Amino acid sequence: MPTQLFLGNAIIQDGIESFDCWRSRKEPIDVLNFTLRPQVSIRVENKAPVTFLLGLPGGTLKPVFAGAIDRTVSPYRARDKMADMMQPVKQAFTDILPQEVLSYVLKMKGIEKAELSPKQFPRKNFVADAPTFYDLILQVNRAWGVNYDGYFDVEQTFHWHERKEQSKLPIFAYGENIINLEFDGTAGTLLTVLVPEIEHSQLIGIEHPDVEVQEVLVDTIHHYTNDTGGLRTEIFFSVP
């Protein structure tokens, strides 16, 4: 299984026995659960930084998760930076832009890498009253009439902006790279072999007799090892 795990100061090459990685635009925190091979002897410490890369045999390893350990017994668990943003946010702002609200909170948390919408919004008086930073994002969206996803990517950069234009649309086709597909007309789930380069919040194409739409929005990505050790990617999608 081609994997690379950066764990604290250690680099573990192909030492993962099993993993379960969830990244979503609809859930506040991305999670990686993993077990190590018996021959890997290492102390897993709380809050140790983690970067996890995956690939197919003969292919290039791609980063699929970045975060920090928060469970130090096997199966180990790591969560992304959003896990550090779960404290209440209560602050009154006068004559402010949504980008300035988010930047203020990010700066308070020591987060410098952010990609915020370049759109020009009207200035408003705004009272932040949210149980977590994730809830603050939803509150900001409502106040300025947008529906942007707020999340950290695998480079640990925070994003809040319009969906970007894609130069290429990944295609999943019946009889080629779709193992299983379920679709109810508005949302569905697609199972395929490992596809580490797919991200949530992007569009993909589906060519399948049970799906009339040609483009769907990726809501959640689930990379995992199945019962036989095979590498799989499960894609949860919706009609945009």
Q: For 157-202, what is each residue's pLDDT tens digit?
A: 999 999 989 999 999 999 999 999 999 999 999 999 999 999 999 9
Are residue 122 and residue 152 in the same domain, yes or no? yes
**DSSP label at 63?**
E
Residue 28: alpha-carbon gap to chain centroid: 9
> Domain range for residue 13?
3-79
For residue 191, the model assigns a pLDDT of: 98
Determine the pLDDT at residue 84: 95
Choose the final residue of a domain: 108, 133, 160: 160
Say whether both 154 and 90 belong to one domain: yes
User: Pairing mode, if any, of strands 171-173 and 203-207?
Assistant: parallel
CA 237 to mean position of chain CA atoms:
14
CA 213, 215, 216: angle at the middle one, nearest 5?
95
Same domain, 181 and 230: yes
**Does the pTM of the predicted model rise above 0.75?**
yes
- Residues 112, 96 share a domain: yes
pLDDT, residue 59, reads 85
Which of 26, 50, 79 corresponds to the end of one domain?
Answer: 79
Report the domain count for the chain. Answer: 3
Give a yes or no: residue 44 inside a domain: yes
Q: Does residue 62 sit in the same domain as residue 89?
A: no
* SS3 state of residue 81: helix
pLDDT at 56: 86
Distance CA 44, CA 173 (A): 41
**Residues 74 and 91 grouped into a single domain:** no
Q: How far is CA 236 from CA 19, 146, 158, 217, in A?
A: 18, 22, 22, 9
Among candidate residues 160, 187, 203, the one where a domain is terminated: 160
Domain-embedded: residue 165 = no
Q: Are residues 172 and 221 in contact, defined by beta-carbon separation less than 8 angstroms? A: no
CATH label of the domain that carries residue 198: 2.40.30.150
Q: Does residue 24 sit within a domain?
A: yes
Residue 123: CATH number of its domain: 3.55.50
| Angstrom distance (rounded) from CA 211 to CA 225 | 27
- Taking all residues of the chain, what is their mean pLDDT, rounded to a whole number? 96
Q: What is the pLDDT of residue 229?
A: 85
Whether residue 73 is found in the same domain as residue 7? yes
Please give the Cα distance from 152 to 65 (Å, whole number). Answer: 10
**What stretches in the chain show pLDDT beneath 70?**
none
Specify whether 137 is located in the same domain as 193: no
31, part of any domain: yes
Within-domain flag for 153:
yes
SS3 at position 135 = helix
